[in-house]
Amino acid sequence: MKYLSTRGHPGDAGLRGFSDILLEGLAPDGGLYLPERYPQVDAAMLARWRGLPYADLAFEVLSLFIDDIPPADLGRLVRATYTEAVFGTAEIAPLKRLDDGLYLEALSNGPTLAFKDMAMQLLGALFEYELGRRGEQLNILGATSGDTGSAAEYAMRGKRGIRVFMLSPNGRMSPFQQAQMFSLQDPNIHNLAIEGVFDDCQDIVKAVGNDLPFKRRWRIGTVNSINWARLLAQVVYYFAGYFQATPSGDRPVSFAVPSGNFGNICAGHVARMMGLPIHRLVCATNENDVLDEFFRTGAYRPRGTAETHETSSPSMDISKASNFERFVFDLLQRDGARVKALFGAALARDGGFTLAPEEFARIAGFGFSSGRSTHADRLATIRRTWQQHGVLVDPHTADGLKVALEQREPGVPMVVLETALPAKFAATIREAAGVEPEVPPALRGIEGLPRRFTVLPADAARVRQYIEAHAGPTS
């Protein structure tokens, strides 16, 4: 299987293998990588996969996209990743029934209590393997306001050849998130608390990333959500959710996905393109509704920082959806030149674009629909789900559930992806339902553990100096 850029075209020379794009971010032309075609599953394959344990299912799905890692090695990595010890249950991603035909898919029982662990844990194993094979090292630089940074650190801790430099706004993450990240004592994890806000952190990461000589010299890499391997790992739980929601495999299933950067739901799109019987992919946004607006109108209008709301589902507070270009590439029948015109020139010139009517008309054929949820909706959904079902959902999952309930269709099971546990967002849960969410045993008392972090001013030069002093051998 070869990979191409969303801004290139299928005839391009120099298509890349999986291992080549694993450690990369954007393609050199500024596009995102996608497989040159989607491998197809048929009814016989689905029947064979239905009874598999999660790790074996992951191996089957990944094998269709990865042909440059020996199967025995890939199998070992996958089976070491998706274990009950790491993800809390033998099923890894079990369905919780709320109602007839309405389910939550539990994706948030990994080490950081958010669904990002599902992909990031595998990414840690793949990175360590590939760097070891090449005899290379990598210094991962990132900025986080909470979930991504902790998922990355828990995936990369103790991994050979990898160091993590994670910038966060000093004193601005929730107490639980700070405790989660700063209590890590692994020498390869560096928490840099920046005296500023999240945007300052992101600006520093960009400034360092744009310094190509520095980036090359110190082998700076990222783990952001455009990484193809992360997206691929997420495809697996759509299969797992489908099998559980349709015990006899007699009907398609819809998924509702709390969305921000469009990574999670894009994995659902890939699963559907492979032939998994998905009826609808319901894209749920919060007040930052750039995606809902697109699916309703065909206009893509990324927001500026000033127009980006701080909400009570903070991991969906995005201004532009970084994975969205992948779906548009397929929607536009893989016309890389058109994608380049829209995401390159038009975004730079006009700050957005609007699809032609015949392009917009194709969206229905891809199964997408969308909806929006506000703070009041979130609170009402959390309260109602607690009162009616005795189940607490986190504010992000509540956004998904709110839109799912509006868009359920008779006879079609609806699976809402649970993207975080309520324990991470206790204040909102108290406000909504007046109860204290349960903290899983492994994380009880982390607020009292010793902390390891360094406070730095919002100054790219000081971050560069820190990396130079702490990065490992670079050749």
Ligand X SMILES: *Cc1c(COP(=O)(O)O)cnc(C)c1O
Which residues are the active-site residues? 116
Closest CB to ligand X among residues 163, 230: 230
- Which residue, 57, 63, 3, 46, is CA-closest to 28? 3
Q: Which of 168, 191, 254, 264 binds ligand X (CB under 6 A)?
A: 264
User: 98: which residues sit within 8 A by CB, 6+ positions away?
Assistant: 104, 385, 389, 391
Near ligand X by CB under 6 A, which window of 130-138, 256-264, 304-312, 450-458? Answer: 256-264
Closest CB to ligand X among residues 204, 420: 420
> Is residue 121 near ligand X by the rule CB under 6 A?
no
- Which residue, 240, 274, 272, 252, is CA-closest to 118? 240
Closest CB to ligand X among residues 179, 393: 393
Q: How many CB atoms lie within 10 A of CB 215?
A: 15
Q: How many CB atoms lie within 10 A of CB 277?
A: 16
The first and second tokens of residue 396, run together, are: 């992000």
Sites for ligand X among residues 383-422 (CB under 6 A) = 396, 419-420
Task: Give me the least distance between CB of 458 and ligand X, in Å please.
Answer: 24
- CA 326 to CA 311: how far, in whole Å? 26
Q: CA 436, 438, 443: angle at the middle one, nearest 5?
A: 125
How many C-alpha atoms does 421 have within 13 Å on its Cβ side? 22
Closest CB to ligand X among residues 219, 269: 269
> Is residue 375 near ligand X by the rule CB under 6 A?
no
Sites for ligand X among residues 419-448 (CB under 6 A) = 419-420
Task: Give me the least distance between CB of 368 and ligand X, in Å please.
Answer: 13
- CA 87 to CA 455: how far, in whole Å? 32
> Is residue 287 near ligand X by the rule CB under 6 A?
no
The first and second tokens of residue 213, run together, are: 């000589």
How many C-alpha atoms does 47 have within 13 Å on its Cβ side? 5
Could you tell me which residues are beta bridge partners of residue 455? 193
Closest CB to ligand X among residues 168, 419: 419
Task: Give me the least distance between CB of 151 and ligand X, in Å please.
Answer: 8
> Is residue 225 near ligand X by the rule CB under 6 A?
yes
Closest CB to ligand X among residues 130, 394: 394
Q: Which of 261, 369, 373, 385 binds ligand X (CB under 6 A)?
A: 261
Task: Give me the least distance between CB of 272 and ligand X, in Å please.
Answer: 16
How many C-alpha atoms does 292 have within 13 Å on its Cβ side? 20
Q: Which of 128, 147, 289, 330 binds ligand X (CB under 6 A)?
A: 147
> Is residue 258 near ligand X by the rule CB under 6 A?
yes
Task: Give me the least distance between CB of 107 and ligand X, in Å please.
Answer: 9
- CA 421 to CA 415: how far, in whole Å? 16
> Is residue 263 near ligand X by the rule CB under 6 A?
yes
- β-bridge pairing 162-169 and 454-457: unpaired
Q: Which of 4, 78, 93, 114 binds ligand X (CB under 6 A)?
A: 114
CB 325, CB 228: distance < 8 Å: no
Q: Which of 31, 124, 161, 260 binds ligand X (CB under 6 A)?
A: 260
Q: Which of 18, 54, 242, 262 binds ligand X (CB under 6 A)?
A: 262
Task: Give me the least distance between CB of 90 and ligand X, in Å please.
Answer: 24
Place of tokens 């960009």: 206
- Residue 340: which H helix or E strand, with range? helix 336-340
CB 143, CB 198: distance < 8 Å: yes
Task: Give me the least distance between CB of 420 and ligand X, in Å please.
Answer: 4
Closest CB to ligand X among residues 245, 291: 291
> Is residue 183 near ligand X by the rule CB under 6 A?
no
The residue ranges that bind ligand X (CB under 6 A) are: 114, 116, 147, 225, 258-264, 315-316, 396, 419-420
